[in-house]
Amino acid sequence: MKVGVVGLGLIGGSMAKAIHKKTEHTVVGWDMSETVRLSAKLLEAVDEFMIDGNPKDCDMVLIAVYPQATVDYVLKHAKDFKKGAVVVDCAGIKRLVCRGVQQAAEENGFLFVGAHPMAGIERSGFNFSSEKIFEGATMILTPYQGADIADVNKVCQFFKSVGFSRMQIATDAEHDQMIAYTSQLAHVVSSAYIKSELSPRFKGFSAGSFHDMTRVAKLNETMWTELFLENRDYLADEIDGLVERLQAYSKVIREGDADTLKAMLKDGKEKRLAVDVVKEFD
């Protein structure tokens, strides 16, 4: 089939390369930047271009741009999509996107499935894209309620063919709530952690835990600002929940309450060990 990839950054570029190298599909790509388009052609990530980003004739369209830009793209081209085409986005939040395009999909006869590849690195842009970043990764899919199971299965098979090893089906709200905790909160903590007045003096006093805590502070602030604000309800609740728990630690530590502190640490250890158990049976 003919697969269109809109946005050839880290995720879109990697998708194009993976489809090109691992499947028989034809890849047509598009990016706002002419430099990126030429790079993608030179490196054979795409077979040809989607003229002005128009998705006509594509059997499947993968959209890998920021959330609001995804909605804008789908609405702008709502009448251009081939009837029955499968349109999938890759944005890190799903309510905004899935709800923003649902009516357009129904009215224009294309199938929309929300998706969020759980893959990424602390760098962005086509230059860092690679067909390998999806290997072993999970793809979260957020189809609409009532979606045809055969269609969703087709999307699953497609993503497995480009390297994903596991599919997770969720509602858009469930996705946004879980991602607020497992990913967005981690980025907020990392950004806040590095801002201690002591951080410039870390050298000689740091081990793995400091680097683990601060690694994802190296983020693309434009993209994450949009992701955070479009998920502000769930994310702010998670931040506030963590703040409350940290305040409880601070209190028992200041009070010197060894028994309570030890019980709190033991509880945390056990909850973390439970994560390992789940992973082991994976």
Taking the complex as a whole, how short is the minimal distance between the CB of residue 262 and its own copies, in angstroms?
4
Residue among 152, 132, 130, 157 nearest 142 (CA): 152
Taking the complex as a whole, how short is the minimal distance between the CB of residue 24 and its own copies, in angstroms?
29
* Residue number, 39 or 214, with CB nearest to its own copies: 214
Taking the complex as a whole, how short is the minimal distance between the CB of residue 129 and its own copies, in angstroms?
17
Backbone phi, then psi, for 210, in 5-degree steps? -65, -40
Cα gap 200→27, rounded to integer Å: 47
* Residue number, 83 or 279, with CB nearest to its own copies: 279
* Residue number, 44 or 267, with CB nearest to its own copies: 267
Cα gap 260→4, rounded to integer Å: 57
Taking the complex as a whole, how short is the minimal distance between the CB of residue 122 and its own copies, in angstroms?
9
Q: Which helix (H) or strand (E) holds 233?
A: helix 232-255
* Residue number, 24 or 282, with CB nearest to its own copies: 282
- For the record, the structure tokens of 148 come out as 């045809």
- Residue 170, number of CB atoms within 10 A of its CB: 18
Taking the complex as a whole, how short is the minimal distance between the CB of residue 149 and its own copies, in angstroms?
18
Taking the complex as a whole, how short is the minimal distance between the CB of residue 164 and its own copies, in angstroms?
12
Q: Which residues, 6 or more positions from 184, have their beta carbon under 8 angstroms from its beta carbon?
A: 224, 227, 228, 231, 235, 238
* Residue number, 35 or 247, with CB nearest to its own copies: 247
Taking the complex as a whole, how short is the minimal distance between the CB of residue 142 and its own copies, in angstroms?
12
Cα 107 to Cα 116, 136, 272, distances in angstroms:
24, 36, 46
- For the record, the structure tokens of 251 come out as 């209190």
Residue among 58, 14, 69 nearest 40 (CA): 14
* Residue number, 78 or 178, with CB nearest to its own copies: 178
Q: Which residues, 6 or more positions from 163, have their beta carbon under 8 angstroms from its beta carbon?
A: 18, 22, 131, 132, 134, 135, 136, 137
* Residue number, 83 or 203, with CB nearest to its own copies: 203
Cα angle for residues 20, 21, 23 (degrees, 5° grid): 70
